[in-house]
Amino acid sequence: MNLRTRLLLTLVPAVLLLSMAAILMAFSYTEETLLQQINRAGYSLTYSNAKEIDVLFETSRKVAEGIALGVGQEQQLEKSRVTSLLRRTLKQNPLVYGSTVALLPEATPLGQFAPYLYRRDGELLTKTLASAEYDYTSWEWFRRPLERRQGVWGEPYFDEGGGNVMMITYSAPIQRGQEYAGVATVDISLENLLSRIRSLRVGGTGYAFIVTGSGRLIAHPGEGILSANTLSRYADKEKSDYFRILHTMVSAGDTETRELVDRVNSKSGRAFSSPIPSMGGHLVIIYPSDEILSPLHELKKRMLLAAAIVAGFILLIIPWVSSSVTSPLRRLVSLTEEYSRGDFGKQLDEKSGPTEMRHLSRAFNRMGSAIIDQIETVRRTTAEKERYHQELEIAAGIQQDILPRRFPPFDELAEHLDIYGITRPAREVGGDYYDYFRLHGGKIAVVVADVSGKGAAAALFMAMTHTLIRDIAARRVPPAEVLRRANRVLAEDNPSSMFVTLLYGEYDPFSGQIKLCSAGHNPPLVRGINGHSRQLDLPVRLPLGAMHDTSYQALDLTLEEGEVLVLYTDGITEASDLNDNEWGMERFASALSGLSGDMRSLTDHLLRRVDEFATGREQHDDITLLLLKRLEGGNTPVSQIDEEQTIRLILPAHNDVLAKVALITGSVARDTGLSEQDAQRFVLALDEVVSNVIMHAYGGAPGNTFELVLIPRDEGLEAVVIDSGTPFDFEEEVERYDGEVNLDSPIGGIGLFLAKRSLDRLTYEPGADDGNRMFLYKSRSDDSLLNCTRN
Amino acid sequence: MNIQENQEGKWQILQVAGRVDSLTAPQLDEAFKRLIDDGGRWLKLDLSEVKYLSSAGLRVLLATLKRVRALTGDLQLYSPRDNVRDVLKISGFSSLFTIGGPDSSVDD
């Protein structure tokens, strides 16, 4: 449930309840006040009207009693004087409708005397009430004042003779001396009173009426002008509370207002009463409640409306409030999501919003910075690790690149030997290596070495050894001397006491003769033609780098055709299985036997066998293998190389040298026994090769040199041209010209084409550090005729 | 390398002596260009005194042949020695040029 809903659900009912309670309190107070005011107003209205009505009756009473007094004090009671008194009184009191003086017959000399003066149509008329059929002394209005010795109000009545208006009569006794002599009456018309009462219509449906002293009702809308029964009769007779309440109220004479259900229009109403003392009656006014309370209802409506407006306003304002409260929260949520996606670019505003939000924003921003720092640290660490790993990989790549990978490595010897080597380090870089390279006099050097230790240090030591051996070997010293010199250098400045076991051999591919020299290395094997291997018993000497003055001794042996020289490091023989059994020499020799094929497949086979044996274990040491096989039946007759006859020349790479090269080469070629044509062809080929070096490898730039080696052999002449210029793609260059010339021929590739055609063999070895080598060979055999025919 | 010029009818004859290799071939090229610039169309190269001819010389011969053929002229070779004849043959150039001289019947 979100904050807005929660606010709505809690605040709205609370506010509504509070405002309703406030409204109700205000309302009830107002209602009470209003009711009091209404009551007061109702009562005062009733009271003032009752008072005025009272004045009317009181006046009439006084008039009657004035007449009675006047008649009583008359010394000479004469009829005419009585009549004129009545006339004068009527004239003076317009409210009086009629008046009479009725005398007891026996009390005065006037006997039966009852003149009645009354108004009709503005005239004063006179009649006498004394007649044979109307004995006035028997009427209530005559008897009762005399019996009670005070004036009384009669019941209202309709004066049928006098225009059918409602009348009421006051009778006052006349006292002459000690005797009551008769009665004086005053009739007053209630027409004015009625119209006055009727005009007292309170509101739309309210009304007023009079309850007489005897309890009859005057001008009650439900009971006619004059009710037939008294109020107490009605109260008994009717089932409704209406008359009972009115009766109680009037009898009690109190001024309290009463609630009742109005009999006239069946609505709840409110009754007020006020006494009219002069006639012993009451004025009653009945208000319909709804009319009284209509302002209250209006008030109630308005208050409810106000409450609704307040509630509506709150409903409207709460989303705004909650949104203003939650908008920083929402921003926090969206920013958190951005952070979780790895976007740390934004921060929360710490300077605006409520204090709590500012604190939260500050904490959040601090967290963001901390995360960024952490990520940066992790990234840097990872990058360092990555760089370290990359450097190791580069080192591993460089180390592998040091190893010769050209198989077969020497084109011109492809018929004589098959050689293959591999080094598989246990880690990224290792301390093992193998090597082979061309030596002076057509020999091949072979090396297998194992540096003590593993990893980067071993790798560096290995690289150093590799360079050292190659460098010393190029100085045409015998194998034992190569190792002696290398040891001297390695042992000289070797604070870490590293050493390397190494096998070094010089192999003559034509004779199969080999000189092998060991510096503490595992004894090599020779696999015979029958497949059985024999271990070579080399003179054992210290590893290179171990001791400063160590001398070495070479073993001479001849590899027969088909035999394989197997050089290896202890990573092969000491490979272990899960039970710590080593592979060992026996398994090694057994794996070597019974397999034909070239040296590459034999190497692969050996590695597979080792891996099968060591399944489930990590390779724990570098593994190196170098296999060299002397091939059967090389078609070139083998001859001794006379090293004394080899000519090695370092020459400037310039075209002036061409004539001199031609001269020397022609001479050597003829001395070697080549025919004149073959000699000239060899000269041509060499000239083209050298021209190529000058113009292309060096691009004609001055100041460069190249090396020319001429090796006279029994069977022909070999030449090697070594340059340190730009290597080129020999195959592509040779194929640029195909010997079919026409006018559209491109003028390129003719030189190498000529050279190749002029020789028995022309091969090229591009070299990175020790120079590019072009090997030229021309056989001495007298098959020049064959060449001519072939061409 | 020495170069001599002779006139024989419409043919202008260059007589070269010595080695024609990467070093000297540019001189021969210059000589041919000068002859053509001077209006020469029918050229002969006397190879009798040329001891050696390399691919650099062959490229000059091919370039010159292209130029004079374009001018409806020709370049002919004359009297190469055996080794030079061998080079022309191996390279396939002997099929492109008219080679005159004592042994011309053998090759053509």
Instruction: Express each pLDDT in A666-699 by its tens digit.
Output: 988 988 888 888 999 999 999 999 999 998 889 8
Architecture of domain A409-630: 4-Layer Sandwich (3.60)
User: What separation, in Å, do the N-terminal and C-terminal C-alpha atoms of chain A show?
Assistant: 99
Picking from B57, B56, B14, the residue whose alpha carbon sits closest to that of residue B36 is: B14
Q: Which of B55, B66, B92 is the closest to A751 by Cβ? A: B55
Three-state helix/strand/coil letters over A503-540: EEEEECCCCCEEEEEEECCCCCEEECCCCCEEECCCCC
On the question of pLDDT at B108 being above 70, the answer is no
* Residues of A in Cβ contact (< 8 Å) with B107: none
Mean pLDDT, all residues of chain B: 88
Put simply, the answer to whether A741 touches B96 (Cβ < 8 Å) is: yes
pLDDT of res. A263: 78
Q: Is residue B45 part of a domain?
A: yes
Distance CA B87, CA B89 (A): 5
Distance CA A448, CA A469 (A): 11
The owner of tokens 């009181």 is A58
Question: Any idea what DSSP says for residue A753?
Answer: H
Distance CA A66, CA A87 (A): 13
Distance CA A135, CA A143 (A): 11
Which of A95-99, A116-120, A639-643, B49-53 ranks highest by mean pLDDT? B49-53
* Residues of B in Cβ contact (< 8 Å) with A670: none
* Residues of A in Cβ contact (< 8 Å) with B71: none
On the question of pLDDT at A271 being above 90, the answer is no
Alpha carbon B100 to its chain's center: 11
Distance CA A170, CA A57 (A): 9
* Residues of B in Cβ contact (< 8 Å) with A758: 90
The owner of tokens 């029918």 is B42
- Per-residue pLDDT band for B103 (boundaries 50, 70, 90) equals low
pLDDT of res. A786: 43
pLDDT of res. A642: 52
- CATH at B65: 3.30.750.24
On the question of pLDDT at B106 being above 50, the answer is no
Q: Is residue B108 part of a domain?
A: no
Alpha-carbon gap: A677 to the closest alpha carbon of chain B (Å): 7
- Per-residue pLDDT band for A637 (boundaries 50, 70, 90) equals very low
Put simply, the answer to whether B92 touches A741 (Cβ < 8 Å) is: yes
- Per-residue pLDDT band for A784 (boundaries 50, 70, 90) equals very low
Which of A178-187, A707-716, B40-49 ranks highest by mean pLDDT? B40-49
Q: Calculate mean pLDDT across residues A356-377.
A: 87
pLDDT of res. A439: 85
Pair type for strands B42-53 and B11-20: parallel
Q: Is residue B29 part of a domain?
A: yes
pLDDT of res. B105: 43
Q: Calculate mean pLDDT across residues A708-725.
A: 89
Q: Which of B55, B65, B86 is the closest to A677 by Cβ? A: B86
Put simply, the answer to whether A751 touches B56 (Cβ < 8 Å) is: yes
The owner of tokens 């190893």 is A403
φ, ψ of residue A717 to 5 degrees: the values are -120, 130
Q: Is residue B72 part of a domain?
A: yes
* Residues of A in Cβ contact (< 8 Å) with B89: 791
Distance CA A486, CA A470 (A): 10
More confident residue, A249 or A566: A566
Residue of B nearest to A680 (CA): B83
Residues 43-72 of B with CB under 8 A from A: 52, 54-56, 58-59, 62-63, 65-66, 69
pLDDT per residue over A398-454, tens digit each? 888 889 887 778 777 777 889 999 999 888 888 899 999 988 777 899 999 999 877
On the question of pLDDT at B65 being above 70, the answer is yes
Put simply, the answer to whether A750 touches B59 (Cβ < 8 Å) is: yes
Determine the topology of domain A643-790 in CATH: Heat Shock Protein 90 (3.30.565)
pLDDT of res. A380: 92
pLDDT of res. A318: 77
Distance CA A71, CA A74 (A): 5
Mean pLDDT, all residues of chain A: 84
On the question of pLDDT at A703 being above 80, the answer is yes
Q: Where are the domains of chain A?
A: 57-189, 347-402, 409-630, 643-790
Q: Which of A677, A694, A740 is the closest to B22 by Cβ? A: A694
Put simply, the answer to whether B91 touches A680 (Cβ < 8 Å) is: no
Pair type for strands A281-288 and A268-276: antiparallel
Residue A207's H or E segment, with its range, is strand A207-211
On the question of pLDDT at A232 being above 60, the answer is yes
- Per-residue pLDDT band for A467 (boundaries 50, 70, 90) equals very high
pLDDT per residue over A51-70, tens digit each? 888 888 888 889 998 998 88
Alpha-carbon gap: A667 to the closest alpha carbon of chain B (Å): 15
Domain extent at residue B45: 2-102
pLDDT of res. A790: 37
- Hey, which bits of A221-267 come out as E strands? 224-230, 258-261
On the question of pLDDT at A638 being above 50, the answer is no
Put simply, the answer to whether A753 touches B91 (Cβ < 8 Å) is: yes
Of all residues in chain A, what percent carry a pLDDT higher than 90?
A: 20
Put simply, the answer to whether B66 touches A743 (Cβ < 8 Å) is: yes
**Lowest mean per-residue pLDDT among A148-152, A223-227, A429-433:** A223-227
Report how many domains make up chain B: 1
pLDDT of res. A162: 56
Residues in contact with A649: Cβ distance below 8 Å, sequence separation at least 6, in sequence order: A664, A707, A708, A709, A710
On the question of pLDDT at A633 being above 70, the answer is no
CA-CA distances (angstroms) from residue A536 to A191, A555, A558, A607, B28?
A: 167, 9, 12, 22, 65
Count CA atoms closer than 13 A to A485's CA, side-chain side. 17
Of all residues in chain A, what percent carry a pLDDT higher than 70?
A: 95
Q: Calculate mean pLDDT across residues A131-152.
A: 84
- Per-residue pLDDT band for A309 (boundaries 50, 70, 90) equals confident
Q: Calculate mean pLDDT across residues A286-291.
A: 79
Distance CA A384, CA B103 (A): 79
- Per-residue pLDDT band for A644 (boundaries 50, 70, 90) equals low
A34-58 burial by CB neighbour count: b if 16+ within 10 A, else e? bbeebbeebbebbbebbeebbebbb
Determine the topology of domain A57-189 in CATH: Beta-Lactamase (3.30.450)
On the question of pLDDT at A540 being above 50, the answer is yes
Question: Any idea what DSSP says for residue A695?
Answer: I
- Per-residue pLDDT band for A150 (boundaries 50, 70, 90) equals confident
Q: Which of A656, A688, A791 is the closest to B23 by Cβ? A: A656
Q: Count other Cβ atoms within 10 Å, centred on residue A164.
A: 9
Report yes or no: A326 and A1 within 8 Å, Cβ to Cβ. no
Chosen for mutation from A651, A663, A674, A680 (greatest number of chain B CBs closer than 10 Å) is A680
